[in-house]
A and B are shown apart, each in its own frame.
Chain A
Amino acid sequence: MHPIFSKRAWLAGYLAAAGVGAALLAVLLRMAGALPWTKAGELAVPLALLYAFECLTPWYLCRALPLGATHPAKIAVEHLGSAVLVTGVWVAAAQGLGRVFDASAGALAVTPYLAAVGLLLYCLSVALHYMLLAMRASQEAAIQTRDAELRALKAQINPHFLFNSLNSIAALAVKDPPQAREMCILLSDFLRRTLGMGEKQSISWEEEIQLVGAYLDIERIRFGTRLRVEMQIDGACGECQVPPLLLQPLVENAVKHGIATMVEGGTIRVNSRVEEGLLQVFVENGYDADAPAPRRQGAPQGLGLRNVRNRLETSFGSAARLTTQTEDSVFRTEMILPCQTGR
């Protein structure tokens, strides 16, 4: 089926355009064919409708002869052939209708005009159909790329985090076996949650908080007393349905570019609440403004932050935002997004 039939509005628009064509055709039949207005109208309406639908046929031919994959000569010959055929049918129909409506002389007189207009419109239609196909292809490609990106993002687990955690387990294995076991369980819990999220479009904020909790428990074992955490999660946020892995990358940033750069470590504060249907999330941590460049928080924004921002944009457009600010060696991230519940 031609895509024009997929939406009523498109079909109505097309028929309106055919109406304009019919009016122009009536003028042509009146002027060049010397027919009275009534006869001209009687002839023009069915002819315009017929040609309007004839001009949809290139859809099939254009799809069968994709640009680039087909030899240009073949495209030209095939389309030219069908243009002549389609125009021929139209001109013949005009003669037939002329006889039916007792206006053969008039119909015959406009034949050269009809042939010229028919060929021209057909070629125009071919060009428009190729444009339509190209637009569709690029739209599909964009959607596919975005889907792939989302899948990759959701499955992202920082390998260094993994290797450092395994190193901690190796260290604990002899000195503190119960804690080594604890770490294995925490790490498995974190991995299972993260991997599971790759499949989901949305999760509850509660699940995200649990994931972040597992992540921070692991990092606390690695960093010892250097990492301190204060979480304040308003109970009402737990129900919000949100895209997965929005908070975890922010907290990972806070550890990697904040706490890990400080000799004495610091505190990560996570705060979230719902206000007027918006989920508000704040993450705050200290950092060393004099840390070696690649790790310093602030000026160059990390990949994690950019990913979160892109995904918010994809899911909510301008309804969500992510802002960061640095002040006196404190890095603050504020994320606001619509809280959708009960789905």
Chain B
Amino acid sequence: MPNGALKPSEKLRVAIVDDEPLARQLLREYLDADGRVEVAAECANGFEAVKAIAEQQPDLVFLDIQMPKLDGFEVLELIDPGVAVIFVTAYDQYAMRAFEARAVDYLLKPFGEERLWKALDRARERLAEGRMAGAFPAARAELAAAARPPEQQLERVVVRDGAKVHIVPVAKLDYVEAQDDYVCLHSEGKRYLKQQTISALEGQLDPRHFVRIHRSYLVRLETIARIEPYSKDSRVVVLTDGTQLPVSRAGHARLKELLGEAG
């Protein structure tokens, strides 16, 4: 968990994430002029960013959006919710999404020093509020999910395991199991744990391919081998690899509707 209370005199530890060396250099130059800021890390792509933020635990991240490996929003999903984020980009069309994902500010390149100081002030305020409130309630993945344009379906799920990032293509996602505030993603025999609710994930996936068969289970239609009766009044789904998953009554209705449409 990131640092304790941030005192006004305390140095703000920041990370700069941008794939262009000149853009990083400019930001660093601005920040170096402010004695109350310390640049803890500079990263040139999404993977580096997730790793550095997990290891260095900065207070604030300046995040570019279009980068190799992971885009800025995917990075946002994977980092500690206590870290404040300021997006820095030449694209103005993501601003709405950025604020919905609780970004502190959105800087449009190129920007001047005054604009940057304003953003830093906001970040300090936000961090102080966050510390007072004790925590940031919602997981970042939830916010990022809410901010995703509805017409844009998820093509891949990003998962962090310590400082490592896994990318699970949705086409290879077999089923998802809810575990409290987490989801366990099952893909090609491997399991990945992600802090997100199953309903939020369900909302991001294509409803023609993923069906919620049970309060705790979300299954990709193509992996279902057959549906079998389990006891009187209840059924199980058998997947192509032999895994059995319970089906609720509502889940069975949804399943029948989808399979009926397909056939």
Question: Which residues of A are interface residues toward B (Cβ below 8 A)?
Answer: 159-160, 163-164, 166-172, 174-175, 221-224, 260-263, 288, 290-295
Contact = CB atoms under 8 A, between A and B. Distances in A.
A163 B91 CA distance: 9
A171 B70 contact: no
Interface in B20-76: 20-23, 25-26, 29, 44-45, 47, 66, 68-71, 74
B68 A167 contact: no
Contact of B68 (A160, A221, A262): A262
In the complex, which range does the number of interface residues on chain B fall in?
A: 20 to 34
B208 to A, nearest CB: 18
A290 B90 CA distance: 23
B110 interface: yes
Complex A-B, nearest 4 residue pairs according to Cβ-Cβ distance, in ascending order: A171-B26, A163-B90, A167-B110, A171-B22
A263 B45 CA distance: 7
Contacts of B74: 292
Contacts of B191: none
Contacts of A222: 20, 22
A167 B69 CA distance: 23
Contact of B23 (A168, A174, A291, A293): A168
Given A163-B110, A167-B109, A293-B156, A261 B22 contact: no
Given A290-B167, A292-B74, 18 more contacts: A159-B90, A160-B90, A164-B20, A167-B20, A168-B20, A170-B26, A170-B110, A171-B22, A171-B25, A171-B26, A172-B22, A221-B22, A224-B20, A288-B68, A291-B68, A293-B155, A294-B71, A295-B66
28 contacts: A160-B91, A163-B90, A163-B108, A166-B110, A167-B20, A167-B90, A168-B23, A170-B110, A171-B23, A171-B25, A172-B22, A175-B25, A175-B29, A221-B22, A222-B20, A222-B22, A224-B21, A261-B68, A263-B44, A263-B68, A290-B167, A291-B68, A291-B69, A292-B70, A292-B74, A293-B156, A295-B66, A295-B71
A214 B90 CA distance: 21
B157 to A, nearest CB: 12
A168 to B, nearest CB: 5
A308 B263 CA distance: 41
The B interface is mostly helix, strand or loop, or mixed, namely loop
A164 B109 CA distance: 7
Contacts of A168: 20, 22-23
The A interface is mostly helix, strand or loop, or mixed, namely helix
Given A163-B110, A170-B26, A170-B110, A290 B69 contact: yes
B19 interface: yes
Contacts of A163: 90, 108-110
A170 B23 CA distance: 9
B103 to A, nearest CB: 18
Contacts of B19: 260
User: Which of A164, A167, A262 has the most chain B CB atoms inside 10 A of its CB?
Assistant: A167
Nearest to B23: A167
B24 to A, nearest CB: 9
A288 B69 contact: yes
